Amino acid sequence: MLGGRPLFGEPLHVGRPNLPDRRRFGELLDCMFENRWFTNYGPLVRVLQSRLQEKLGVRHCIPMCNGTIALELAYRAMGFEGEVVVPSFTFVATAHALEWQRITPVFCDIRESDFTIDPACIDALVTQRTTGIVGVHVYGNPCDHEAISVVASKHGLPVVYDAAHAFMSEAGGASVCRMGALSVLSFHATKFFSTFEGGAIATDDDEIAERVRLMMNFGFAGREKDRVDYVGTNGKMTEVCAAMGLAMLEQVEQIREVNAANHAVYGEALAGIPGVRLAQPSPALEMHNWQYVIALVDEEAYGLSRDQLVRVLEAENVLARRYFHPGCHRMEPYRRSFEESGRSLPVTDRLSGMVLSLPNGESVLPEAVRWIGDTVRLAGTKAGEIRAKLKEGGHA
């Protein structure tokens, strides 16, 4: 579209999985076959569990089949019902996991500075039916746990965190997974740390951990499986996923360094482009996985909207993603009740129209990052021409 041939033949995706050392993964697979143990809390899952606990400095980190089931189990283990306050600026699974259990998500606005739930907006959303608060550490940025705790204690509400983006995020001298009653992690293929599909619940609370362990295994108590204490489900992680996790854990420091280096190159490559700004990680972070590279596009100053830029990048083989657009409150299952509430989420609405997640991870070379920067810069200078072309093609 911009006239030149794309420099990179293969599309540059946001979410291209980070790879482990394949030989190491193979050794772990051999181990799994020799054990003839494939699931049901097998030996590799147990080792992964203890490595994760060590890495995150939490008493319990229970591996699960994916982050969404982990969210559902977390909400249930906390006894959530009625209404729960949750940010709208998140992946829809954070809200679905409530609605799936007939708990009403009450959507809250976020802070402009770090995309996390705005503690100042929570109080007005609490009603007699509220049973909890969910924060999301968006792009790995820690929620303001201190301020959230003040509102939560005023109403006697527990706080849990969706830490799907925050593996290895640290603030206040500890992993962000130590905040609140529990934290939910996602180890999906597109995440910084992946087990193909996977997730976990991290908590320092022995009772919560015990409830989660029972509920994720059909509610069975004891080895004989003749006692069922809870209505349960199947949230177990398989051994093959644990093998991937163990191999990936050996790579994460290296991937973090690549991510951080790419972030710095993005900083240079996008510098000075009118209307395009790179979101910086929260200053509260002491350690960060740098997985998400978020650009904010101001249509007026740049000349193209964020969505038009997405099309330009797509034509150049760069598959950028709009994480998160639209806010959950604008999605069909939630739209009508939100409209009827008469509320508004101005920061969520504005930022969800501006954010653009750019490719990162160990598959992305610095040359590719520079080339993406050049493409974004050039598109801005040719904005008028591009708008006209998009209009011609029916993409106003």
Rule CB under 6 A: which residues touch ligand T4K? 13-17, 66-68, 90-91, 93-94, 136, 162, 164-165, 186, 188-190, 199, 319, 321, 323
Q: Which is nearer to ligand T4K, 94 or 175 (CB)?
A: 94
Q: Do 110 and 324 form a contact (C-beta atoms < 8 A)?
A: no
For residue 176, what are its two tokens? Answer: 């962000």
Q: Which is nearer to ligand T4K, 117 or 136 (CB)?
A: 136
Backbone angles phi, psi at 394, to 5 degrees: 80, 15
Rounded to the nearest 10 degrees, the angle between the axes of helix 43-56 and helix 22-35 is: 130
Q: Which is nearer to ligand T4K, 15 or 219 (CB)?
A: 15
Q: Which is nearer to ligand T4K, 42 or 361 (CB)?
A: 361
* C-alpha dist (Å) from residue 185 to 94, 198, 296, 369: 11, 8, 26, 28
Backbone angles phi, psi at 107, to 5 degrees: -80, 135
Q: Which is nearer to ligand T4K, 68 or 308 (CB)?
A: 68
Task: Work out how close the CB of 166 gets to ligand T4K at its nearest, in angstroms, rounded to a whole number.
Answer: 9
CA 203 from chain centre, in angstroms, equals 18
For residue 135, what are its two tokens? Answer: 């924060």
Task: Work out how close the CB of 226 gets to ligand T4K at its nearest, in angstroms, rounded to a whole number.
Answer: 32
Task: Work out how close the CB of 369 gets to ligand T4K at its nearest, in angstroms, rounded to a whole number.
Answer: 17
Structural element, H or E, at residue 13: strand 12-13
Q: Which is nearer to ligand T4K, 51 or 322 (CB)?
A: 322
* C-alpha dist (Å) from residue 382 to 211, 217, 272, 298: 58, 57, 16, 16
Cβ neighbors of 38 (< 8 A, separation 6 or more) are 32, 238, 239, 240
Task: Work out how close the CB of 222 gets to ligand T4K at its nearest, in angstroms, rounded to a whole number.
Answer: 29
Q: Which is nearer to ligand T4K, 93 or 358 (CB)?
A: 93
CA distance 44 to 31: 9
Cβ neighbors of 5 (< 8 A, separation 6 or more) are none
Three-state secondary structure call for residue 170: strand
Task: Work out how close the CB of 271 gets to ligand T4K at its nearest, in angstroms, rounded to a whole number.
Answer: 26
For residue 348, what are its two tokens? Answer: 């969520």
Task: Work out how close the CB of 94 gets to ligand T4K at its nearest, in angstroms, rounded to a whole number.
Answer: 5
Task: Work out how close the CB of 150 gets to ligand T4K at its nearest, in angstroms, rounded to a whole number.
Answer: 24
Look up tokens 């996390």; give the residue.
Answer: 116
Q: Which is nearer to ligand T4K, 273 or 312 (CB)?
A: 312
Three-state secondary structure call for residue 166: coil
For residue 344, what are its two tokens? Answer: 């508004």
Judge residue 348's burial from the number of C-beta atoms within 10 Å of its C-beta, 0-12 exposed, 13-18 middle, 19 or more buried. buried
Task: Work out how close the CB of 188 gets to ligand T4K at its nearest, in angstroms, rounded to a whole number.
Answer: 3
CA distance 353 to 296: 9
Q: Which is nearer to ligand T4K, 178 or 188 (CB)?
A: 188
Task: Work out how close the CB of 192 gets to ligand T4K at its nearest, in angstroms, rounded to a whole number.
Answer: 11
Task: Work out how close the CB of 98 gets to ligand T4K at its nearest, in angstroms, rounded to a whole number.
Answer: 12
Q: Which residues pair with 338 in a beta bridge?
A: none
Q: Which is nearer to ligand T4K, 20 or 67 (CB)?
A: 67
